[in-house]
Structure 1
Amino acid sequence: MTERTFAADDHLPRVPLPTLEDSCARFLQWCAPLLTAAELATTEAAVADLLRQDGPGRTLHAALAEYDAAAGVGSWLDLFWPSRYLGRRDRIALNANFFFLFRDDTTLATSTAATQVDRAAGIISAAVDYKLSLDAEAIPAVTQRGQTLSMWQNKYLFSETRIPGEQQDSVRVPYSPEWPGPSTAKHVVVFFRGHMFRMDAIGPDGAPYSLDDLADGLRAVLKAGARSTRTDSAVGHLTTKARAEWAASRQALLAEPTNAAALNTIETALFCVCLEDFAPRDELHACDQLLHGDSANRWFDKSVSFIVFGDGQAGINVEHCGLDGTTILSFVDTLLETPAQEHAARSGAKAQGMPAVEPIDFVLDAAQRNDIAEAGADFARYAAENATQTVSFPDFGTTRAKQLGISPDAFAQLSYQLAHRRSKGITGATYESIATRQYRNGRTEAMRVVTPEMVAFVDAMQDPTVDQQGKLAAARTAAAAHVERAKQCQAGAAPEQHLWELQWIQRRRGAELGVTEPIALFDSPGWLIMRDDYLSTSSAPSINIRYFGFGSTSPRCIGVAYVLLPDRWNLYLATPTPVADQMHAFADHLRTAVADLEALLARG
C-alpha cells in the first residue's frame, strides 16, 4: 500500500536555522555586486552593529532559536510565512495571486467535448476526485530525486479562504482547530457575468454528481445568469481592495444575516469556477484574464478558482498564502493527465439528476453598492496600468541546454541578466524562488541571482575586446556559481528570510525583548537595494501548462514567470504601464540574448 499523503510530513528534516554569523556573511556577499564602495561600507557597518555581542541581532536570533526548539513548532519559519503573506496590506488581486493557463490538448481536455460546459464539468469532476482521494490520504506524496516532499500545502487546496483583517489577514481552512479534518462542504461557487451561484458537486449521500449532472447544473447557471449583474451588486469586486479596507467592507456586510450566510457559503465552498462569456483573442489575452479578469466574476480570496472561457480554454487563479506553485503544479498535473470519465468513475460519481443550483444573494444598502462599484472601477483602472507580454522559444528547452552542457535554469537566468543589461544599461536586483519542500513545512527560499560571476559574464558579453574564449569562460563560471547558490538555497543556507524574520520578531515582540531601537541593517543600502527587484523570476515546469504568470512586485520591476520544458520555453512578463517600454525592450533583447548565448556555448 502507498504511504498515506501526510505520513512523512512529521518525519521530514527540519529547515536548518543558520547562525547569525553565517547569514550576515552571506548577506554581504549577496548584496555586494549591487553596491558602490560607499554603500557597501555603510552596509558592513550596519552588519557589524547587528553582530555585536550585546547587540539586537543576538537577542532576536536567540528568540528565534528558542521558538524553533519549542514543542509543536515544525520550522523556524512557521510564523514568517503568515507575516509575509497574510501581513501584506495592499491588494492581493494581481499583486500576489498567480495563474496557470492549461494546454488545450491535455488528456482531461480531450476526454470532453470542447465546449465551456463540458470542459468545466470535467474540471469539477477531476477536482472532486482529487479532494476525496486527499480526504482518504490516498494521494501519493510527491518525491523529487528520491526524496519525499512536504504535502501540508495540499490541505489548503479545498475550502480555504483568506479572510481580510485590519492588521493582518487570517485563513479559514480545514485541518485546523476551528475546522478539524478535511472539508465537509459539498458545494462549489460558480460565477457567470458577475452572478454567484452555489452548486453542489457532491450529492447528499457523499457520492459526486456525474459529468452529465454537473453539465446540467452549469447550463442552469448560464441560463439564470444570462443578463449581466449590476456593477454595484457584484460583491467579488470587494476582494480586490487593499486588505484593511476590504476587512471594513466585510464587517459591514456581516451585520446583515443574509450576507453573513452568503459569505459563509462562499468561504466554505470547495473552490470557485468562473465561467467567462467570451473566448480570448489570443494567449496573452487569456493570461491577462487569468491574472485579473473582470473582478465581478472572481473571488480573489479563494485558494483555488478555475476559470473556463467561452471556447472551453481554461486555467487557474491561486491565492498564494498557503499554496506555492509546486503544489499547484502537482495538483493540476493529476487533474489534467487523466480522462474526465476515469476521474468520475474513480470518485464513485453517479447520476443523481441535476445538482442543486441556488443564487448567492446579498442585501446591500446604498453605501455598500457605492463601495462595490468604486472597488470595481478602481481595480479596472489598476489592471489597465499593468502591461504584459508573452515571449516564446518553441525551439529551445531543457534538452538543448543540456546538449550545450549548461544547467537549463542557469541558461535562463544568464539570458535574463544579459537582456536586462542590454535593455536598461544596468544590472539590477533579481529574485528567484527556490522550492524547499524537502523540509518539514518547507515552502520556498529567496535566491538572489546577481553574483560577482554573473556581473563578470554580462560585462564580458558587452565588451568588444573580450574574445570568444573569454566570453565562454565567463558564461561557464557564472552558470557554475548560479548552480552553487541554488544548491545553498535548497539546503536552507540563505540569508534573506532569516534576517527578515528577525525584523518580524522585532515588530511582533520588540518591546517584550527590549529591542525597540531601529536596527541599522534594515535601513542599510545593502538590505534595501538587494530586495528592490528589477526582475522577479519564478519557473513552473509542467507539460500541461502553456503559461504561468504573476504581477510585478514594484513600480519598476518586471515579473518573469517561465515554463521551461524539454522542447520549449514560454514566458509571461508583467510590469507597470509607465515602464512598459522597458519591458518590451527587455523582451526584444531576450530573444537576441538567448540566440547569442546558445551560439557561444555551441561554438565552445
Structure 2
Amino acid sequence: MNLLSMQLSASLRKSGGLAPPTASALVIARRGYKNESPSEYLHRSIVPSMHYQKSLPRLPIPSLEDTIRRYLAAQRALLDDEQFRTTESLAKDFQNSFGKKLHGELVALDKNNKHTSYISAPWFDMYLSARESIVLNFNPFMSFNPDPKPEYNDQLVRATNVVCSTVRFMKTLRAGLLEPEVFHLNPAKSDTDGFKKLIRWVPSSLSWYGAYMVNAYPLDMSQYYRLFNSTRIPRQGKDELFTDQKGRHLLVMRNGNMYVFDIVDGDGNLVKPAEIQSHLKYVLSDQTPAPAFPLGVLTSENRDEWARLRDKLVAAGNGDALEVIDSAVFCLCLDDEAMRDHIHISHNMLHGDGCNRWYDKSFSVILTKDGQAAINFEHSWGDGVAVLRLQNEIFKDTTEKPLVNPNSVPASVDSASAVRRLQFNLDSEIQNGIGKARENFHTAVSKLTIDALEFKRGGKEQLKRKKLSPDAIVQLAFQMGFLRQHGQTVATYESCSTAAFKHGRTETIRPATAHTKRCAHAFVCQPGQHSAEQLLDMLNECSKYHGQLTKEAAMGQGFDRHLFAMRYLANSKGQALHDLYSDPAYTAINHNILSTSTLTSPAVNLGGFAPVVPDGFGVGYGVHDNWIGCNVSSYPARNVHEFLQCVHKSLEDIFTVVEGKSIG
C-alpha cells in the first residue's frame, strides 16, 4: 500500500486520472446555474477547481549525490559497522558509475514528459502489475465519526444523506465549482474572498505563482477524476483502470446481492432525496437470501485468477452486468451487522466478510446496521489526499445540511421498478472459483489481528508548547516500543504526500534514524543514566531531524522514489541491475516492518490498513490536541497487543520527560 499519504502534513506534511476539463468547458458548464436548485452543489467556488493545475511546479528529481547521502543516512540506523561499510561502498560505486548513467537518462526522460511527473507512470505500473489480492495488501479504510446528532445515525437516513452529498461533491467537482485544494500557510492572506477574486483572473499558466506569493500552495487535483464511475479491471499480468463518466447509477450491495438505481437523472441533476431514500429502503427490506455464490468475493482473489474468472464470466453472458458495476458512480455497502467496538469496526471496514464488497471500485462507502460509516478505497488510481477531501466534504455536508432527516417520509414511487437486482449466470467453473476465493479470503483475514491505543496524558498542544514536533515524538514512541519489544531497530516507512507537485504521488519519510536510535536506547536500555534535561535534548534532536526529513519528503527530496524510478527504468530497458539493488541492506530497508501513516480530521474516527510484510505492523495513528490514538494491525509473526503496551510505556516516559521529570 500504503495508506494515508493522507495529508501534506501538519506543517508541510497524488497521480494520473482523467484529463481535467478545459477552461472553456468550465465556462460552458457554469452557464445557467442560476436556475438550478441550491441542493445540486456543495458550494460555488470563486476560483475554478482546476485553476492552478496548469501552473503547478513539476516534481523535482533529487540530485544523485543527495539521494545516496540520504540513503546512507537512513541505513546507518539499521546496520552494524561492517554491514554499513559494505553498503556504503556499493552506494558510492553506484553513484559514480551505473547510477550516474541511469540518473541522466531519467532526467532526460522527465524533460520530454513535462505534462506529468517522473514517478507517475512507474507508480501506476507498480500498483497495477501487483498480482496479490488488493484486500489487506493495498486497500485501506477511513471510518467516519458518527453524526453528532444521534438520530441521524439511523442506517437509512445516513445512507441517503451520504449518497446525496457524494453526488453533490461529484457535480461540484465536474462543474469546476469545487474549491481548489490549497495548503495555506497564511490563511489570513490567501484564504480570503478578496484574494480569490483577484487570483481567478490570473491566467492558469501563472496562477500557482500568485498563490505562492501569499504563502499558499495549491495541490495537484488530477486524481479527483478517478473518484467516480471508476473501477480497477483485472487483467492477466497487469490490471487497467476504467472510468465511464456517463454512468448515472449507484451500486448497492447488501447480503452479497447487488442492486443498481439512478442517483442522477437524465438532465444531470441529483435524483430527489426522498426517492433515493425510498430506493434504499426497498433494498434494506428486500428478503432475497444471500447468494450461494457471492460474486463480490472474486475481487479479493489473486489478480491473475480473478482476471481468468472474469473472462469466464464475460463468456458466460455476464458482460453487461459487469459493465454496470464498473461504471457505477460508486459502491454503497449496506451491512446488516451492528458494530461492537472500534476493533470490530476496523475489521469490518478493512475487509468485512468478503461477500458484501466490490473491492475494485475506486471507493466504497460502507454503512452498518447502527449507522457506522467508512470509506474503503482501491489504491492504484490515487492516494489519500483526494479521498480525505471527499470524506471531509461528505461529513460536513451530511451533518450541516442533511437533505433528509429522521422524520422524512420516503417518496411514494415504485422502487420495485426503479431498483434492479443484478443477476448472473454462473457455470460450475465460476462457482468453484468463488468457493476457492472465499476459502482464500477467510484464510487471509483470519491471520490478521487489530488492536488500538488511546493515550490520554497529552497530545499536540503540550508537545508544541515545548517546541517538539508531535509527529516526530509519536514516531519516536514507535521506535522505542519496537526496541522495548524486540531489542532492535528496523526499517520504518511513513507516507508523505507530494501533491504539492503536478502528478505527485508519495515520498517516504524514514523515521528510524541515528537520532531516534540513540534516544530510544537512552530511554529503553539505559534507564536512570540520563537526566531529564539530557533526555529532553535528545527529544529535541529527534524532533528537528524528523522535521527536516518531513519537509524534504514533501518537497520531493527523499531517496526512495528516486532509487525506485532508476531501478524501474533499468528494468524497462532490460539492463542488468547494479549490485546496490541486490544488497541485503537495500532489501531490508524496503522490507518495512513498521509501516505507518497519519491523519487527523474532524470527519475521521479511525484509519487503518494491514501490515505490508508478514512480520510487520500496520500503524495508523493520529495526534490530537490532548491525546494520541493508534490503530495497529499484525499477523501471527508479531504480537500487536504487546507492541501497543510497549508504545504506551514509551509515551509515558516521553511525557514524563516533557513535564521536566526524570525517569527511573
TM-score normalised by the chain length of structure 1: 0.92
Alpha-carbon separation, structure 1, partners of 2:129 and 2:302 = 12
Which residue of 2 is the match for residue 307 of structure 1? 366
Q: Does 1:242 align with 2:302?
A: yes
Which residue of 2 is the match for residue 289 of structure 1? 348
Amino acid at match of 1:252: K
Of the structure 1 ranges 42-51 and 292-301, higher mean CA displacement relative to structure 2 is found in 42-51
Which residue of 1 is the match for residue 559 of structure 2? 495
Which residue of 2 is the match for residue 132 of structure 1? 171
Which whole-Å deviations, capped at 9, do the CAs of 1:188-245 have from their partners, x for residues lacking one? 1100001011121112332212222112111211233542221xx2111111111122
Amino acid at match of 1:603: G
Q: Which of 363, 368, 385 is the aligned partner of 2:447?
A: 385
Which residue of 1 is the match for residue 221 of structure 2? 151
Which residue of 2 is the match for residue 162 of structure 1? 232
Alpha-carbon separation, structure 1, partners of 2:159 and 2:398 = 13
Alpha-carbon separation, structure 2, partners of 1:351 and 1:203 = 16
The Cα shift of 1:67 comes to: 1.6
Amino acid at match of 2:539: A
The Cα shift of 1:6 comes to: 1.6
Does the 8 Å CA contact 1:32/1:526 hold for their aligned counterparts? no
Which residue of 1 is the match for residue 437 of structure 2? 375
Which whole-Å deviations, capped at 9, do the CAs of 1:74-121 have from their partners, x for residues lacking one? 211121221222122211111110111111135xxx396332111111
Change (3 A) 1:469 1:400: closer
Alpha-carbon separation, structure 2, partners of 1:317 and 1:352 = 32
Amino acid at match of 1:557: G
Which residue of 2 is the match for residue 89 of structure 1? 131
Which residue of 1 is the match for residue 28 of structure 2? none
Which residue of 2 is the match for residue 61 of structure 1? 103
Which residue of 2 is the match for residue 42 of structure 1? 86
Structure 1, unpaired ranges of 5+: 175-182
The Cα shift of 1:418 comes to: 1.1
Alpha-carbon separation, structure 1, partners of 2:114 and 2:555 = 23
The Cα shift of 1:125 comes to: 0.5
Alpha-carbon separation, structure 2, partners of 1:537 and 1:114 = 30
Percent identity of the aligned residues? 29
- Give matches, 1:132-211, under 5 Å: 132-144=171-183, 145=185, 146-173=216-243, 183-211=245-273
Amino acid at match of 1:538: S
Tell me how large the CA RMSD over aligned residues is. 1.9
Does the 8 Å CA contact 1:280/1:309 hold for their aligned counterparts? yes
Does the 8 Å CA contact 1:326/1:540 hold for their aligned counterparts? no
Which residue of 1 is the match for residue 401 of structure 2? 342
- Give matches, 1:358-507, under 5 Å: 358-462=420-524, 463-464=526-527, 465-507=529-571
Which residue of 2 is the match for residue 178 of structure 1? none
Of the structure 1 ranges 557-566 and 389-398, higher mean CA displacement relative to structure 2 is found in 389-398
Alpha-carbon separation, structure 1, partners of 2:334 and 2:387 = 20
Amino acid at match of 1:519: H
TM-score normalised by the chain length of structure 2: 0.84
Alpha-carbon separation, structure 2, partners of 1:476 and 1:35 = 24
Q: Does 1:599 align with 2:656?
A: yes
The Cα shift of 1:321 comes to: 1.1
Which whole-Å deviations, capped at 9, do the CAs of 1:520-569 have from their partners, x for residues lacking one? 11111331121111210000110221100011100111010012222432
Q: Does 1:121 align with 2:178?
A: no
Alpha-carbon separation, structure 1, partners of 2:115 and 2:654 = 46
Alpha-carbon separation, structure 2, partners of 1:455 and 1:165 = 44
Counterpart secondary structure, 2:573: helix
Does the 8 Å CA contact 1:410/1:482 hold for their aligned counterparts? yes
Counterpart secondary structure, 2:622: strand
The Cα shift of 1:351 comes to: 6.7
Q: Does 1:273 align with 2:312?
A: no
Amino acid at match of 1:168: K
Alpha-carbon separation, structure 2, partners of 1:59 and 1:3 = 43
Amino acid at match of 2:231: T
Amino acid at match of 1:170: E
Which whole-Å deviations, capped at 9, do the CAs of 1:165-204 have from their partners, x for residues lacking one? 2222211125xxxxxxxx1211011000010111211123
Change (3 A) 1:218 1:341: farther
Change (3 A) 1:354 1:270: farther
Which residue of 2 is the match for residue 7 of structure 1? 51
Does the 8 Å CA contact 1:28/1:526 hold for their aligned counterparts? no
Counterpart secondary structure, 2:143: strand
Q: Does 1:332 align with 2:371?
A: no
Amino acid at match of 1:277: D
Structure 2, unpaired ranges of 5+: 1-44, 186-215, 405-409
Amino acid at match of 2:585: G
Amino acid at match of 1:49: D
Counterpart secondary structure, 1:577: coil
Of the structure 1 ranges 272-281 and 81-90, higher mean CA displacement relative to structure 2 is found in 81-90
Alpha-carbon separation, structure 1, partners of 2:274 and 2:414 = 8
Does the 8 Å CA contact 1:329/1:540 hold for their aligned counterparts? no
Does the 8 Å CA contact 1:548/1:561 hold for their aligned counterparts? yes
Alpha-carbon separation, structure 2, partners of 1:566 and 1:364 = 53
Counterpart secondary structure, 2:461: helix
Alpha-carbon separation, structure 1, partners of 2:378 and 2:586 = 28
Amino acid at match of 2:159: A
Alpha-carbon separation, structure 2, partners of 1:86 and 1:21 = 31
The Cα shift of 1:466 comes to: 2.2
Q: Which of 111, 116, 119 is the aligned partner of 1:74?
A: 116
Q: Which of 9, 14, 31 is the aligned partner of 2:75?
A: 31
Does the 8 Å CA contact 2:570/2:577 hold for their aligned counterparts? no
Of the structure 1 ranges 58-67 and 484-493, higher mean CA displacement relative to structure 2 is found in 58-67
Change (3 A) 1:341 1:525: closer
Which residue of 1 is the match for residue 617 of structure 2? 558
Counterpart secondary structure, 1:295: coil
Q: Does 1:99 align with 2:141?
A: yes
Does the 8 Å CA contact 1:100/1:316 hold for their aligned counterparts? yes
